[in-house]
Chain A
Amino acid sequence: MVSSQKTGSFLAAPAVTYMVIFFVAPSLLLFSYSFWTASSFRIVPDFVLTNYLSSMKSLLFLKVTLNALFIGLVTATISVLLSLPIAYYLTYVTRSKVIFYLILVTWFSSYLVRIYAWRTLLGTNGLLNVALLQLGIIATPVEAFLFSPFAVGITLVHIYLPFAILMVISAMSEIKKELIEASRDLGTSPLGAFVRVVAPNAAQGLIGAFMLTFILAASDYVTPQMVGGSSGQTTGLLIADQFRKTGNWPLGAAQAFIMFALSILVYVIITALARASGLTRPRKSILRQEK
């Protein structure tokens, strides 16, 4: 047993070393950067809270951060809600693998291509406008489709929905099919079976899916910038610009950690809400598939 543990440590070493050097160390470095100062294109090691304080006092920062949180929450909510029927269908109803395959394909198909697709769909000469014009529903092209919060929302949902579906599937696949069949046999409607059996048991996994989608969507700086116009200003874009254009890296680092802290705050609130509403209660493992 001891020798097997030794072999284990030896085998774990490459991956562990890799992640320590290229994940832990850079994260810590970024954290210390957030206390440094930048003056005339040089970054000076220091210990000041100016970066955090000036960010939090800046109206622009507050505005774009609220925007990012809003975008994240809306995208995650819609994505998880839309994931539920699909995941339910794939886990309990059909045996066909086609839909699952298509979901994988959309998730791995290019991120930029999907943004581009919505740009061409929603533009003034885009398909949506042309179709509505031809149908006589509108008289002049609507410019407001693109470069609006609506465009940001629909594009982000399109991008992150496959991911949410995969997460929700993995949460649901832990619940025994027999449980649902039993409740159906006892006369519960499909919706009832979902609300009474699936939701409470998959709650933890659903919260996980919601949070990961939220984090991805709230920090996405490319999509809002490309389809959101003036409504596409988010913290992510602000942070990215600090590292690309203006060059105040310590300020960008501080803003990244503020965003990080806010994500944790959202997680804490969601978990507390779920517990308060009775959705997540410690349920015993008989309900879950035996491993």
Chain B
Amino acid sequence: MILRVTVYLIMAFLLVPLALIVLFSFNESPSFTFPITGYSIRWYAQIFSDPQLASALWKSFWIATLTAIITFILGAAASLAWLRLGRNGRTVLEVLCITPIALPGLFLGVSLLVLASQVGVQLSMITIVISHVVLALPMLMIAMRARLVLFDPNLEEASRDLGASQVLTFRRVTLPLIAPTLISCAVLSFALSFDEFVVTAFVSGTETTLPMYIWSMMRRTVTPLINAISTLAMVFTIAIISIALAIAAMKRATNLSSRNAA
């Protein structure tokens, strides 16, 4: 009982500030105090009349899409590699692809900035995508590793022994086992990129992504317009997470049904 109350209190601490952001995005007056005198959607209307904001949103969307695609391709190949490599190969792969998670964004951001300036590359949306993949790939690899250690290599061998071609084995055995986690992680890397600020601040040059735009607004003033943008961003994130979890759950369902069929 005490445990449950503690859990609910902590969850309230996490959720109430976010709920208040949403609540005040519908406040008619630009103040942040109770009681709320009237509700309106004027701040939302304002979002859609701001061309700078629309452009920032659009840029963030494309950056996140590219990040998710590249992370997916690199991660898929690396996961398949992990299954085939020996102990040493796996260690190399893990050290390179997982370590960045233990480094602060600040460190990754300035080191990529230094690289870009040394090589003479202009900071652009491309450098932003590159940096986001460096952040997203480790997240994907950690989740994949937890899946892959459960993978039984005998399954592939058995399929080959039973006469399935390499392509068929891949399609019917390997892929169904790793695809759901891979796809849900790729979806999560979209969410990660869409919201990324710390690293982006160093490698974006003159490009303004959505978080960069929110940041410049936040520094200037406190307005319910920021609440409205934040609320939309949150709704978007919730949708993304739901998709990712639904894909991950689908895997469990198919695994179960194939087990029952066997």
Binding site for B on A (CB under 8 A): 4-5, 7-16, 18-20, 22-27, 29-30, 33, 82, 85-86, 88-89, 93, 99, 101-106, 108-121, 123, 125-127, 130-131, 134, 158, 161-162, 170, 190, 211-212, 215-216, 218-222, 226, 236, 239-240, 243-244, 249, 252-253, 256, 259-260, 291
**A158–B214 CB distance below 8 A:** no
Q: Mark B205-241, 1 if CB is under 8 A from A, else 0.
A: 0000001001100100010001000100110011011
Complex Cα distance, B137 from A79, in Å, reads: 25
| Pairwise interchain contact B21-A117, C-beta atoms closer than 8 A | yes
B108: which of A7, A8, A23, A109 is its contact (CB, 8 Å)?
Answer: A23
Write out the residue numbers on chain B whose beta carbons fall within 8 Å of the beta carbon of A25. 115
A231 to chain B, nearest CB (A): 18
Report how far A229 CA is from B84 CA in the complex, Å: 53
* B interface majority secondary structure: helix
Q: Which residues of A contact B192 (CB under 8 A)?
A: 108
The 9 closest A-B pairs by CB, nearest first: A8-B84, A219-B104, A12-B81, A11-B81, A26-B111, A15-B78, A26-B115, A117-B17, A8-B85
Please tell me the number of chain B residues within 8 Å of chain A, measured between CB atoms. Answer: 82
Alpha-carbon separation in the docked complex, A167 to B146 (Å): 13
Q: Which of B45-53, B69-77, B253-261 contacts A (4 or more CB under 8 A)?
A: B69-77
Q: Is the CB of B102 within 8 A of A212?
A: yes
Contacts of A131 in B (CB 8 A): 34
Measured between beta carbons, the chain B residues less than 8 angstroms from A86 are: 7, 10-11
The reply on B134 being an interface residue by CB < 8 A is yes
Which residues of the other chain, A, contact B103 by a CB distance below 8 angstroms?
A: 215
The answer, yes or no, to whether B202 is at the interface (CB within 8 Å) is yes
Which residues from chain A contact B57 at a C-beta distance below 8 Å? none
- A126: min CB distance to chain B, Å: 7
Give B residues with C-beta under 8 Å from A: 3-4, 6-7, 10-11, 13-15, 17-18, 20-21, 24, 31-34, 73-75, 77-78, 80-86, 89, 92-93, 96-97, 99-108, 110-115, 118, 130-131, 133-134, 137, 146, 149-150, 188, 191-192, 195, 197-198, 201-202, 211, 214-215, 218, 222, 226, 230, 233-234, 237-238, 240-241, 245
Q: Which of A101, A190, A291 interacts with B241 by CB under 8 Å?
A: A101
Q: Could you tell me if A222 and B197 are in contact, using CB atoms closer than 8 angstroms?
A: yes
Q: A12-B81, A104-B241 are in contact. Are A89 and B150 (CB under 8 A)?
A: no
Q: Are B32 and A120 in touch, CB under 8 angstroms?
A: yes
Residue of A nearest to B153 (CB): A4
A120's partner among B24, B118, B234, B245 (CB-CB below 8 A) is B24
Q: A101-B241, A127-B20 are in contact. Are A12 and B107 (CB under 8 A)?
A: no
Given the complex of chains A and B, what is the CA–CA distance between A151 and B59 in angstroms? 32
Residue pair B110, A252 in contact (C-beta under 8 Å): yes
* Contact B106–A108 (Cβ < 8 Å): no
User: Does B14 contact A158, Cβ atoms closer than 8 Å?
Assistant: yes
Contact call A11/B24, Cβ cutoff below 8 A = no
Task: Tell me if B237 and A18 are in contact (CB < 8 A).
Answer: no
Chain A residues whose C-beta falls within 8 Å of the C-beta of B191 in the assembled complex: 108
Chain B hits for A259, CB < 8 A: 107
Taking the closest CB of chain A, its distance from the CB of B89, in whole angstroms, is 6
Set of chain A residues within 8 Å of B215, measured between Cβ atoms: 112
Provide the bound-state CA to CA distance between A222 and B200, in Å: 13
Please give the distance in Å from A267's CB to the nearest CB on chain B: 10
In the complex with contacts A4-B84, A120-B32, A256-B110, A22-B134 CB distance below 8 A = yes
Contacts of A117 in B (CB 8 A): 17-18, 20-21
> Are A226's CB and B3's CB within 8 A?
no
- Within 8 Å by CB of A119, from B4, B10, B222, lies B222
**Cβ–Cβ contact B230 & A108, under 8 A:** no
Residues of A within 8 A of B84 (CB): 4-5, 7-8, 11
B15 touches A102 (CB 8 A): yes
**Known contacts A117-B21, A252-B110: A110-B80 contact under CB 8 Å:** no
Whether the pair B104, A236 counts as a contact (CB closer than 8 A) is yes
Question: Residue of B at shortest CB range from A85?
Answer: B6
Rounded to whole Å, the gap between the CB of A23 and the closest CB of chain B is: 5
A112, A190, A256 interface centre (most CB from chain B within 10 Å): A112
Looking at the complex, which one of A11, A99, A121, A256 makes contact with B17 (CB distance below 8 Å)? A121
Closest to B101 in A: A212
Contact A85–B78 (Cβ < 8 Å): no
* CB–CB B197/A85 < 8 A: no
CB<8 Å pairs between A and B, sample of 8? A4-B84, A88-B3, A102-B14, A111-B198, A113-B18, A116-B214, A116-B230, A219-B106
Contact B111 A30 (CB under 8 A): yes
Task: Given A14-B73, A29-B111, A85-B6, verify A123-B96 contact (CB < 8 Å).
Answer: no
